[in-house]
Amino acid sequence: MGDTEEQTPQSAHKRCTIVVPCYNEAHRLPSEKFIEFVHEGRDIDFLFVNDGSTDNTLELLERLRRVCGPAVGVLDKRRNGGKAEAVRDGMVRAIELGRSGFVGFWDADLATPLSAISSLCQELIDEPRLQMVFGSRVRLLGRHVQRRAIRHYLGRVFATVVSLVLRLPIYDTQCGAKIFRVSPQLSQVLRRPFISRWVFDVEILARFIALNHGDTHLLHDSIFEYPLERWEDVAGSKVKPGDFVLAFVDTFRIYSKYLR
C-alpha cells in the first residue's frame, strides 16, 4: 500500500480533511454543531461541496466559512452531479491541498456525530498498516444506533451481497462516515468518475481490490470497521425506495467492470 511520506509534510500527518457533500441541505444542515466543533480547535478541516443545490445551501455554507475561518472550505459545483461525484471531487481537492494526512467524507445531516471523526482518525494514527477506517452501525448493547427497521434489514441484505461479491466480510458498506489515509493508491482510486451514483463506497473498495490484482487479503488487513457509539437516522433522506434496486444493479456493474 502507498506511503504517505511522499505526499504530505510532517506537520500534516495527523490532520484530517472531511468532505461534506451537500445537496439542498439549507433546512437540515446543523451548522451550529459544525461551528461549535471547529471552535474547539482540532486537527480537523471541513470541505463542504455544494452540489448544484437549488435552495440556500450555498449561502449557508458561505456563512459557515466566514464564521469558521480557514478550517472550512467550500467547493461550489454549479450542476448537480450526485453524491458520488461530489465526494470524489472534494476528496481529490483535499488531497491536492496537501494539508492533511487523512481525508474522508461525512453525511451533512450528522447522523454520525462529529465527535466520531477523532475516534476514526485515532485508529489510523495508532495502526500504520490501516489505509481506511469506516464507521459501522452495529446495534451493540450500550450504543445508540437508531435506524428504521426497514433500512436496517435492507442494509443487512445489501452488505451480505456486497461481502460475497467483493469476497470481503464487510458489515456496513453504506455508512456515510469514512476516513482514508492519503496515499498514491488512494489518489489512483479517485482518479476517474465513479460508475455508480449511490454505492460508490463499494466501488472504492472494488478499485482497491483491482489495484491489488484481485487480491483481497491486503485490503482485508488495511480496513478497520469502527463500531460507532452513536448513529441516528435523520429525517429528510434523499434516498428513494427505488434506489435500493439501483444499488444492486450498480453492484453488478461494479463486479463486471472491476472484479470479473
Ligand X SMILES: Nc1nc2c(ncn2[C@@H]2O[C@H](COP(=O)(O)OP(=O)(O)O)[C@@H](O)[C@H]2O)c(=O)[nH]1
- Residue 188-227 contact track with ligand X, rule CB under 6 A, x = bound: ----------------------------------------
Interaction of residue 109 with Mg ion, rule CB under 5 A: yes
Number of residues that bind ligand X (CB under 6 A): 18
| Residues 226-245 contacting ligand X, CB under 6 A | 237-239
Q: How far is CA 203 from CA 11, 23, 59, 142, in A?
A: 31, 21, 32, 32
Least CB distance to Mg ion at residue 137 (A): 12
Least CB distance to ligand X at residue 51 (A): 3
Q: Which of 22, 120, 121, 162 binds ligand X (CB under 6 A)?
A: 22
Minimum CB distance to ligand X smaller for 101 or for 176: 176
Q: Residue 86 touches which of ligand X, Mg ion, none (CB < 5 to 8 A by kind)? A: ligand X
- Among 62, 60, 46, 49, smallest CA distance to 21 is for 49
Q: How many CB atoms lie within 10 A of CB 243?
A: 14
Least CB distance to ligand X at residue 77 (A): 8
Are residues 178 and 104 in contact, defined by beta-carbon separation less than 8 angstroms?
Answer: yes
The Cβ-side half-sphere exposure at 222, using a 13 Å CA radius, reads 20
Interaction of residue 107 with ligand X, rule CB under 6 A: yes
Task: Give the whole-angstrom CA distance, residue 156 versus residue 168.
Answer: 14
Instruction: Please state the separation of Cα 114 from the chain's center in Å.
Output: 13
Minimum CB distance to Mg ion smaller for 23 or for 226: 23
Least CB distance to Mg ion at residue 51 (A): 15
- Among 150, 174, 178, smallest CA distance to 163 is for 174
Minimum CB distance to ligand X smaller for 88 or for 181: 88
Which strands, in side-by-side order, build the sheet including 223-227? 72-77, 44-51, 16-22, 102-106, 177-181, 132-136, 223-227
Task: Give the whole-angstrom CA distance, residue 129 versus residue 132.
Answer: 9
Q: Residue 245 touches which of Mg ion, ligand X, none (CB < 5 to 8 A by kind)? A: none
Interaction of residue 23 with ligand X, rule CB under 6 A: yes
Number of H helices and number of E strands within the chain? Answer: 9, 9
Interaction of residue 111 with ligand X, rule CB under 6 A: yes
Instruction: Provide the binding-site residues for Mg ion, judged by CB under 5 A.
Output: 109, 111, 234, 237
Residues forming the site for ligand X (CB under 6 A)? 21-23, 25, 49, 51, 80, 82-83, 86, 107-109, 111, 176, 237-239
